[in-house]
């Protein structure tokens, strides 16, 4: 009886879950002005552009179709007056290559008309489309000189798989939309990335869609397929270690509600947007203050603006590998479906989303985002042993909310989490998995290495090339209001020289408020201190400015020289922290057109204006980096490597905001005696 009851409950929970999924894809809810474009809206963009530029007489491909975000003022007004009273413009931006020219087409979705249509004339090209890459990777298989190279190596052409790689920019003045194509051997293992056919240079012109440059630098053995398999169904025993199930059982159901793309959970409310380029976008995050009886804004908008991955091998095969994954390939376009029970725990709920194909057709990404609660550590505790005969303990369980997506760009998988804590912290984290980019070499053992191989021999004939992963977060914090300041609190040693203490030294703090952008360019390192965004117009009852502190990720600094082309393009990595005044168009830290970019539209360039940031609407940028010296454990597939930072309230609340929190009720497992 009890079990069938449980089954019934589970069954209805499943129905609820699937209903939730349906709700998320059909616009039954009231549309939020920050909601990602719907399937219908993407189709509308496609139709409007095709009507102006009929495909019978024009060659067009869509490289971006996304929400043209309303001005912040409009959103804030909408939010305060409530949705039914005020309408916010609903516009889409389409970046379309029409007859080899890049158009920025702004479309009013309500009026169903083109607002503006401008041709981009600066440097750089839009995000690549998946469709053109699919065509480009087929070209070598029909290209005589390549077939000859394959035959010369005794390889089977039917087992060759190719992939596209953006070319970067190395000072050329004449630019064409080109990509490099490299090929790999499939054969008995699907792990193509560790089996490159090295030594070939192939360049495809994407406008002409043909191979325009080819060079065979000589035969280098393709690494063996042995021990490169990672699919469970194709592996051989022994298996292990064994893992035991760990179900999260939520007898009262989930503690969060999803309404369209708006989430409410515990004391938090926020909106989940999605962009073909940025992927997941967290907006309008506010926390309810139990004492002030109101919701207080923390984050207006947060997302990953760019990911820069420069490889550190200067030779012909690799020098150009200086990727900008968000701008060149699109984090949204590269978002993959999450696997229930594996990528996200069994209590997760999923959101679907739409992106677009090169012809403008909407494409569904099922289970693109998951939301779930998980146990954290202890929220707070104390065991009191100091009161005679009255020892006791008070302890609170921490349950956090996680929003997760996975972005797979070629060989690498980026696990992107936004974790919310009831204590007021937001903890964004990045974790990497997937497969190393391997360079084939004629070396089977370390003892044969005579010169710098620019990486680590992770397997016979396989160099895992040195590289970095630099993510830059755009964090438009609005701490209890829009006007904020950026503060650096330095911890300084003070020497006692006047004999007033038995101590010879102590430390104290020194606070500086950044006046302009230059004051806020921070290289994190040895000098201890705290970085915070405060609202100088709002004070706590004892007079502190309300604020949020950045507890940064382990700092990573670029090692390339400032005059090196990739570093000019990726100059947003020059500092770990930057602050800019809010500007709706300054979204992409590496520039809007980052493929073949010249670095003339980066965060480093914008901030040269050294604008005023004191008591203004400001945006915090944080670079989260990983220097990757590969190791054998990263082969043939890499266990998660992660880094995180925290945005933590600092004098934002009057006291511990979870002082009166309720721990979750103890779980009585069905069928278990009490």
The footprint of Cu ion (CB under 5 A) covers 628
Least distance from ligand NAG to the Cβ atom of residue 605, Å:
8
CA–CA distance, 544 with 534 (Å, rounded to integer): 10
**Interface size with ligand NAG, residues (CB under 6 A):** 9
CA–CA distance, 646 with 83 (Å, rounded to integer): 32
Decide: 271 and 450 in contact? Cβ < 8 Å: no
Residue partners of 386: CB distance under 8 A and separation at least 6 = none
For residue 568, cis peptide bond before it (omega within 30 degrees of 0): no
Nearer to ligand NAG, 353 or 602 (CB): 602
Least distance from Cu ion to the Cβ atom of residue 143, Å:
31
Identify residues 250-269 at the interface with ligand NAG (CB under 6 A).
none
Nearer to ligand NAG, 270 or 606 (CB): 606
CA–CA distance, 650 with 379 (Å, rounded to integer): 17
Please give the structure tokens belonging to residue 24. 């998320």
Please give the structure tokens belonging to residue 383. 């065991």
Give the CA count within 13 Å in the CB-facing half-sphere of 616: 17
CA–CA distance, 444 with 453 (Å, rounded to integer): 13
Identify residues 527-566 at the interface with ligand NAG (CB under 6 A).
none
DSSP state of 233: G
Residue 323 interacts with ligand NAG (CB under 6 A): yes or no:
no
Decide: 422 and 658 in contact? Cβ < 8 Å: yes
Nearer to ligand NAG, 110 or 152 (CB): 152
Rounded to the nearest 5 degrees, what angle is found at the Cα of 184, between the Cα atoms of 451 and 364? 125
Least distance from Cu ion to the Cβ atom of residue 634, Å:
8
Q: Which stretch binds ligand NAG (CB under 6 A): 235-243, 337-345, 491-499, 579-587?
A: 579-587
For residue 636, cis peptide bond before it (omega within 30 degrees of 0): yes
The one of Cu ion, ligand NAG, none whose footprint includes residue 628, by CB under 5 to 8 A per kind, is Cu ion
Q: Is the dihedral of CA 457, 462, 467, 470 positive or negative?
A: negative
Least distance from ligand NAG to the Cβ atom of residue 239, Å:
28
Rounded to the nearest 5 degrees, what angle is found at the Cα of 615, between the Cα atoms of 609 and 617? 70
Least distance from Cu ion to the Cβ atom of residue 367, Å:
26
CA–CA distance, 455 with 584 (Å, rounded to integer): 41
Identify residues 146-175 at the interface with ligand NAG (CB under 6 A).
156, 158-159
Give the CA count within 13 Å in the CB-facing half-sphere of 378: 6
Least distance from ligand NAG to the Cβ atom of residue 604, Å:
11
The one of Cu ion, ligand NAG, none whose footprint includes residue 56, by CB under 5 to 8 A per kind, is none
The yes-or-no answer on residue 471 being catalytic is no
The number of beta carbons lying within 10 Å of the beta carbon of residue 207 is 15
Of positions 84, 173, 243, 389, contacts ligand NAG by CB under 6 A:
389
Of positions 257, 583, 610, 656, contacts ligand NAG by CB under 6 A:
583
Rounded to the nearest 5 degrees, what angle is found at the Cα of 610, between the Cα atoms of 609 and 614? 135
Residue partners of 289: CB distance under 8 A and separation at least 6 = 267, 295, 296, 653, 657
Q: Which stretch binds ligand NAG (CB under 6 A): 24-32, 262-270, 517-525, 583-591?
A: 583-591
The one of Cu ion, ligand NAG, none whose footprint includes residue 586, by CB under 5 to 8 A per kind, is ligand NAG
Least distance from ligand NAG to the Cβ atom of residue 69, Å:
14
SS3 state at 147: helix
Least distance from ligand NAG to the Cβ atom of residue 94, Å:
20
Nearer to Cu ion, 628 or 648 (CB): 628
Residue nearest to Cu ion (CB): 628
Nearer to ligand NAG, 397 or 518 (CB): 518
Of positions 243, 451, 501, 585, contacts ligand NAG by CB under 6 A:
585
The one of Cu ion, ligand NAG, none whose footprint includes residue 104, by CB under 5 to 8 A per kind, is none
The one of ligand NAG, Cu ion, none whose footprint includes residue 158, by CB under 5 to 8 A per kind, is ligand NAG
Residue partners of 472: CB distance under 8 A and separation at least 6 = 304, 305, 306, 307, 308, 572, 573, 589, 590, 603, 621, 622, 623, 624
Find, among 583, 586, 618, the residue nearest to 604 by Cα. Answer: 586
Of positions 268, 331, 606, 645, contacts ligand NAG by CB under 6 A:
606
Nearer to Cu ion, 162 or 626 (CB): 626
The one of ligand NAG, Cu ion, none whose footprint includes residue 508, by CB under 5 to 8 A per kind, is none
The yes-or-no answer on residue 325 being catalytic is yes
The one of Cu ion, ligand NAG, none whose footprint includes residue 156, by CB under 5 to 8 A per kind, is ligand NAG
The backbone region for 266, taken as left when phi is positive above 0, alpha when psi lies in -120 to 50, beta otherwise, is left
Least distance from ligand NAG to the Cβ atom of residue 464, Å:
28
Residue tagged active-site, from 325, 413, 595, 617: 325
The one of ligand NAG, Cu ion, none whose footprint includes residue 171, by CB under 5 to 8 A per kind, is none
CA–CA distance, 246 with 294 (Å, rounded to integer): 37
Nearer to ligand NAG, 68 or 586 (CB): 586
Least distance from Cu ion to the Cβ atom of residue 455, Å:
11
The one of Cu ion, ligand NAG, none whose footprint includes residue 151, by CB under 5 to 8 A per kind, is none
Strand runs labelled E in 540-630? 545-551, 577-581, 616-628
The one of ligand NAG, Cu ion, none whose footprint includes residue 388, by CB under 5 to 8 A per kind, is ligand NAG
Which residue's structure tokens are 């793309």? 261
Residue partners of 668: CB distance under 8 A and separation at least 6 = 251, 674
Least distance from Cu ion to the Cβ atom of residue 642, Å:
12
Rounded to the nearest 5 degrees, what angle is found at the Cα of 452, between the Cα atoms of 446 and 222? 60
Residue partners of 554: CB distance under 8 A and separation at least 6 = 643
Please give the structure tokens belonging to residue 257. 């509600």
Which residue's structure tokens are 């956090």? 400
- Residue 115: which H helix or E strand, with range? strand 113-119
Of positions 132, 586, 595, 634, contacts ligand NAG by CB under 6 A:
586
Nearer to Cu ion, 191 or 651 (CB): 191
Nearer to ligand NAG, 159 or 530 (CB): 159
Nearer to ligand NAG, 269 or 515 (CB): 515
Residue tagged active-site, from 303, 354, 412, 466: 412
Nearer to ligand NAG, 236 or 389 (CB): 389
Of positions 54, 154, 388, 671, contacts ligand NAG by CB under 6 A:
388
Q: Are strands 438-440 and 426-434 parallel, antiparallel or unpaired?
A: unpaired
The backbone region for 445, taken as left when phi is positive above 0, alpha when psi lies in -120 to 50, beta otherwise, is beta
Chain residues in the site for ligand NAG (CB under 6 A): 156, 158-159, 388-389, 583, 585-586, 606
Q: Provide the annotated active-site residues.
A: 325, 412
């Amino acid at each position: 009886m009890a079990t069938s009851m449980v089954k019934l409950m589970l069954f209805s929970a499943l129905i609820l879950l699937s209903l939730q999924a349906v709700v998320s894809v059909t616009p039954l809810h009231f549309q939020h002005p920050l909601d990602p474009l719907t399937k219908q809206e993407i189709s509308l963009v496609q139709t409007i552009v095709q009507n102006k530029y009929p495909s019978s007489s024009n060659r067009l491909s869509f490289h971006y179709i996304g929400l043209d975000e309303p001005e912040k003022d409009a959103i804030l007004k909408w939010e305060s007056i409530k949705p039914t009273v005020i309408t916010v413009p609903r516009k889409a931006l389409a970046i379309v290559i029409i007859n080899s020219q890049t158009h920025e087409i702004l479309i009013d979705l309500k009026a169903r008309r083109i607002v503006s249509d401008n041709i981009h004339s600066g440097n750089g090209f839009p995000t690549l489309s998946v469709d053109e890459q699919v065509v480009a990777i087929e070209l070598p298989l029909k290209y005589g000189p390549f077939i000859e190279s394959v035959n010369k190596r005794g390889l089977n052409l039917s087992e060759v798989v190719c992939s596209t790689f953006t070319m970067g920019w190395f000072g050329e003045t004449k630019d064409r939309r080109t990509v490099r194509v490299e090929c790999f051997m499939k054969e008995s293992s699907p792990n193509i990335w560790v089996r490159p056919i090295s030594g070939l240079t192939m360049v495809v012109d994407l406008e002409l869609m043909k191979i325009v440059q080819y060079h065979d630098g000589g035969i280098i053995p393709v690494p063996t397929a042995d021990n490169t398999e990672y699919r469970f169904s194709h592996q051989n025993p022994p298996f292990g270690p064994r893992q035991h199930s760990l179900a999260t059982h939520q007898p009262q159901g989930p503690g969060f509600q999803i309404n369209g793309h708006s989430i409410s959970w515990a004391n938090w409310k926020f909106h989940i947007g999605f962009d073909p380029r940025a992927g997941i976008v967290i907006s309008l995050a506010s926390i309810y203050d139990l004492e002030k009886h109101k919701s207080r804004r923390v984050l207006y908008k947060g997302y990953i603006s760019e990911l820069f991955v420069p490889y550190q091998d200067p030779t012909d095969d690799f020098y150009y590998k200086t990727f900008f994954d968000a701008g060149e390939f699109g984090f949204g376009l590269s978002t993959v479906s999450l696997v229930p029970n594996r990528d996200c725990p069994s209590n997760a709920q999923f959101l679907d989303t739409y992106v677009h194909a090169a012809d403008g057709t909407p494409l569904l990404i099922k289970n693109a985002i998951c939301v779930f609660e998980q146990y954290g550590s202890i929220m707070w505790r104390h065991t009191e042993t100091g009161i005679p005969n009255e020892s006791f303990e008070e302890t609170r369980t921490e349950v956090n909310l996680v929003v997760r997506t996975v972005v797979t760009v070629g060989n690498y998988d980026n696990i992107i989490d936004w974790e919310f804590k009831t204590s007021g912290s937001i903890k964004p984290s990045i974790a990497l998995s997937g497969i190393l980019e391997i360079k084939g070499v004629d070396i089977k053992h370390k003892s044969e290495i005579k010169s710098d191989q620019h990486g680590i021999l992770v397997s016979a004939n396989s160099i895992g090339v040195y590289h970095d992963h630099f993510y830059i977060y755009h964090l438009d914090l609005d701490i209890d209001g829009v006007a904020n300041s950026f503060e650096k609190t330095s911890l300084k040693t003070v020497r006692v020289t006047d004999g007033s203490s038995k101590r010879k030294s102590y430390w104290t703090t020194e606070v500086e408020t950044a006046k302009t952008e230059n004051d806020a360019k921070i290289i994190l390192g040895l000098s201890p201190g705290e970085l915070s965004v405060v609202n100088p117009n709002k004070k706590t009852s004892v007079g502190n400015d309300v604020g949020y502190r950045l507890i940064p990720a382990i700092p990573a600094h670029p090692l390339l020289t400032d005059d090196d082309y990739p570093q000019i393009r990726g100059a947003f990595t020059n500092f770990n922290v930057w602050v800019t005044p809010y500007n709706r168009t300054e979204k992409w830290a590496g520039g809007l057109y980052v493929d073949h970019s010249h670095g003339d539209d980066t965060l480093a360039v914008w901030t040269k204006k050294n604008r005023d940031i004191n008591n203004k609407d400001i945006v915090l940028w944080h670079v989260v980096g990983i220097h990757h010296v590969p190791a054998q454990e990263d082969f043939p597939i890499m266990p998660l490597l992660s880094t995180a930072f925290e945005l933590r309230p600092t004098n934002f609340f009057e006291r511990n905001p979870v002082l009166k929190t309720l721990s979750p009720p103890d779980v009585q497992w069905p069928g278990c005696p009490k």
